[in-house]
């Protein structure tokens, strides 16, 4: 293996900038290949030996695991029937328990939960590496549920029907084999199934292209085809949607990552909704909600991208277009989310990346709004308790220093009943939160949050961790993390959260400002924050570390190769790095809307300028880097991290590598493994940035 790596290193120098066919590390893309896995085990062993030998590692892992396993965490709940359900993992139940309680019981400090499904026992009995992926129970009775179980934590899952009152899987119930499926209830005896039906049934992105209607008692092979998308689509799916006493059967055809066509079942026929592909459609009671991603003229009015418009679904289908505007963005505001109760729609609005709430109701046939009193300078999320029968909703508030709280709120009132309060995992009194704005290369003001001690010395020598993402219209908002507090802040670190272009903090326009050929704007923004931190005396390059995952891992790769002088340590998680081949690996083809198509010369001309794997240079001085990925990540191919690390190591760069063998794109399969990886990352950062 050593000989092979040395030979590959020599080849790499000659292969810079050449086609993927000349890639000397292409063999590492064979995810389960014998040679590749042997290589992974060797690199893991080296990293474990080094990092776990660092003085700070053992205590860091203990502190992080204590937070993850704490019984005082808030159990997130979902109302199913008359009870409230929660999925819970701790030291005694590493794979987890699906359990339930009444609301009165949940209100208690120590509820008496009733176990519905013990995943550890199920995995042991069935000799499977099951990881919970969620449950969906059919309305109105909600006595039958579809449970998704993943082998090891990837996106692909087995879907099995569960008898909720009997607390067991149905022996003759619905079962959809392992795949990246979208399986939803049409009614109690009918499923909409989009899955891998064999050759030709998947899109280029690896998602289902065909939707079928599967009746109880039929073999899956006999299910009737409802819709077939195109090979070039992202995916298709169908769903039966229940909202505020209304039911809709909908087929969604994802024609690209940011556009879709919608088909609505009317009188037994599927009718295509008359709307542009960039307009997202959803439903609230009798109302059709429309959110354009681009400026849109409808009903004789010009509506900005990111607006939220409402019209009765029946009126829209009849050709009427007199929509009501429930939200219109401004220079500082964007729509963060919405939740529909029986009679109200609660909107979360981001105003300079801080949350506020607006409540809408229909009074005498017209929409009326009112602001909802809520804390500022933090993040609010809301979800309906039961959109068919109740105007109650769950209200969650958090910021970097305020432990998350969960309350029961009621449409029409500002009163809230506290239900749960997360404990303080660290003493927040010495710290403060500040928001600053860096000036990017083109003059754009880019916001970022800083969490630091009130008495922080502005001498540039504070160990500082800057986190970023900047893609797919994803907004990064303030959040409370006991792990961050214990492992970083309490030990003297400064934490920074960057809100760069490509994200959704200021709506679709903020995202599109860094789309495709404009991608460099995101990298300009992130590097401008690094320079602003140095200018303010918070951290110079010697004391600044950065971290990001997935698209944020690509961001880390670009910072590593194009801006190495600005940072001293990089944590690069589940990253995209080889942008020459990203569209050929796993779900990569679905992201060409975001990055462009590297097989098109015009697109490759701008992609190649930042693609990290193609921009490694022999003799360059790079900051110390830790690459972390997962063998079972079936979204972002682990080959990205494998190849980048191998190439940099062969050049003598200061790099480390860890690939977990369980867990998918999002997280490890157990708290113990999650704590190990987090401790590894923080120990690495402390070693480099002190």
- 3-state secondary structure (DSSP) of residue 327: strand
CA angle, residues 115, 117, 118, in degrees to nearest 5: 90
In 3D, which of 197, 225, 195 has the Cα closest to residue 208?
195
Q: Report the Cα 511 to chain-centroid distance in Å.
A: 16
- Look up residue 175 and give its two tokens: 């079962």
Q: How many CA atoms are closer than 13 Å to the CA of 331, on its beta-carbon side?
A: 3
d(CA 684, CA 60): 11
Q: Which residues pair with 334 in a beta bridge?
A: 350
Q: Is the peptide bond before 140 cis (omega within 30 degrees of 0)?
A: yes
Q: How far apart are CA 102 and CA 88, in angstroms?
A: 16
> Look-up: residue for tokens 């105003």?
351
Q: How far apart are CA 387 and CA 246, in angstroms?
A: 10
- Smallest Cα–Cα separation from 597: which of 309, 312, 232, 300? 232
Q: How far apart are CA 156 and CA 183, in angstroms?
A: 12
Tokens matching residue 424: 């303080």
In angstroms, the CA 291 to CA 274 distance is: 14
Cα–Cα dist 42/229, whole Å: 43
- Which tokens in the block code for residue 70? 């704490």
Convert 220-265 into a string of H (helix), E (strand) and C (coil).
Answer: HHHCEEEEECCCCCCEEEEEEEEECCEEEEEEEEEEECCEEEEEEE
Reduce the DSSP state of residue 310 to 3 states and report it.
strand
Q: Give the three-class secondary structure for 641.
A: helix
Active-site residue list: 550, 665
Check: CB of residue 572 under 8 Å from CB of residue 559: no
The residues, any chain, with a CB within 8 Å of residue 172's CB and separated by 6 or more, are: none
Closest C-alpha among 529, 522, 666, 507 to residue 594: 522
CA dist 547 and 568 (Å) reads: 12
Q: How far apart are CA 79 and CA 96, in angstroms?
A: 19
3-state DSSP assignment of residue 627: strand
The pairs formed by 273-276 with CB atoms below 8 angstroms and a separation of 24 or more are 273/316, 274/316
| End-to-end Cα spacing for the chain | 35
């Amino acid at each position: 293996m050593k000989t092979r790596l040395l030979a590959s290193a020599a080849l790499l120098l000659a292969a810079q900038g050449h086609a993927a066919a000349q890639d000397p590390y292409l063999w590492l893309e064979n995810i389960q290949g014998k040679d590749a896995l042997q290589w992974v085990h060797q690199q893991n062993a080296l990293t474990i030996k080094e990092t776990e030998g660092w003085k700070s590692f053992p205590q860091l892992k203990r502190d992080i695991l204590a937070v993850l396993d704490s019984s005082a965490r808030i159990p997130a709940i979902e109302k199913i029937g008359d009870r409230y359900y929660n999925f819970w993992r701790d030291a005694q139940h590493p794979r987890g328990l699906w359990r339930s309680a009444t609301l009165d019981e949940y209100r208690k400090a120590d509820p008496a939960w009733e176990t519905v499904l013990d995943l550890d026992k199920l995995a042991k009995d069935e000799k499977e590496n099951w990881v919970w992926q969620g449950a969906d129970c059919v309305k109105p009775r909600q006595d039958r549920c579809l449970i998704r179980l993943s082998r090891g934590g990837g996106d692909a899952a087995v879907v099995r029907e569960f008898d909720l009152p009997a607390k067991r899987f149905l022996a003759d119930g619905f079962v959809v084999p392992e795949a990246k499926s979208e399986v939803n209830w049409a009614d109690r005896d009918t499923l909409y199934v989009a899955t891998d039906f064999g050759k030709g049934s998947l899109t280029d992105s690896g998602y289902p292209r065909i939707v079928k209607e599967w009746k109880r008692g039929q073999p899956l092979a006999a299910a009737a085809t409802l819709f077939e998308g195109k090979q070039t689509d992202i995916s298709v799916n169908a769903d039966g949607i229940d909202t505020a006493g209304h039911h809709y059967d909908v087929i969604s055809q994802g024609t690209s990552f940011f556009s879709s066509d919608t088909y609505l079942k009317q009188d037994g026929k599927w009718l295509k909704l008359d709307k542009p592909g960039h307009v997202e459609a959803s439903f609230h009671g009798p109302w059709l909600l429309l959110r354009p991603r681009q400026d849109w003229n409808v009903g004789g009015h010009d509506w900005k991208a990111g607006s939220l418009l409402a019209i009765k679904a029946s009126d829209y289908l009849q050709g009427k277009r007199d929509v009501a505007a429930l939200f219109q963005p401004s220079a500082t505001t964007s729509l963060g989310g919405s939740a529909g109760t029986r009679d109200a729609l609660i909107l979360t609005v981001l105003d300079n990346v801080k949350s506020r709430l607006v409540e809408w109701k229909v009074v005498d046939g017209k929409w009326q709004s009112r602001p909802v009193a809520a804390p500022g300078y933090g993040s609010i999320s809301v979800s309906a308790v039961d959109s068919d029968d109740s105007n109650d909703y769950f209200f969650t508030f958090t910021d970097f220093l305020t432990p998350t709280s969960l309350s029961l709120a009621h449409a029409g009132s500002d009163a809230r009943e506290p239900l749960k309060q997360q404990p303080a995992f660290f003493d927040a009194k010495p710290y403060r939160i500040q928001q600053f704005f860096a000036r990017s290369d083109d003059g754009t003001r880019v916001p970022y949050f800083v969490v630091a001690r009130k008495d922080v010395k502005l001498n540039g020598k504070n160990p500082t961790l800057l986190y970023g993402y900047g893609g797919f219209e994803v907004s990064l908002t303030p959040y409370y993390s006991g792990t961050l507090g214990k492992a970083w802040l309490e030990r003297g670190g400064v934490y920074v959260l960057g809100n760069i272009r490509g994200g959704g903090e200021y709506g679709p326009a903020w995202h599109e400002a860094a789309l495709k050929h404009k991608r460099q704007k995101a990298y300009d923004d992130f590097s401008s924050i690094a320079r602003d931190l140095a200018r303010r005396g918070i951290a110079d390059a010697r004391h600044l570390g950065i971290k990001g995952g997935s698209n944020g891992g690509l961001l880390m790769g670009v910072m590593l190769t194009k801006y190495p002088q600005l940072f001293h340590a990089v944590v690069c998680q589940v990253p995209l790095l080889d942008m020459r081949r990203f569209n050929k690996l796993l779900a990569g083809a679905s992201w060409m809307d975001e990055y462009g198509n590297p097989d098109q010369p015009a697109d490759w001309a701008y992609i190649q300028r930042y693609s990290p794997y193609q921009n490694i240079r022999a003799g360059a001085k790079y900051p110390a880097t830790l690459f972390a990925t997962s063998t079972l990540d079936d979204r972002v191919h682990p080959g990205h991290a494998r190849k980048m690390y191998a190439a940099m190591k062969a050049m003598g760069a200061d790099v480390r590598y860890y690939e977990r063998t369980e867990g998918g794109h999002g997280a490890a399969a157990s708290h113990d493994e999650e704590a190990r990886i987090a401790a590894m990352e923080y120990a690495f950062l402390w070693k480099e940035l002190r």
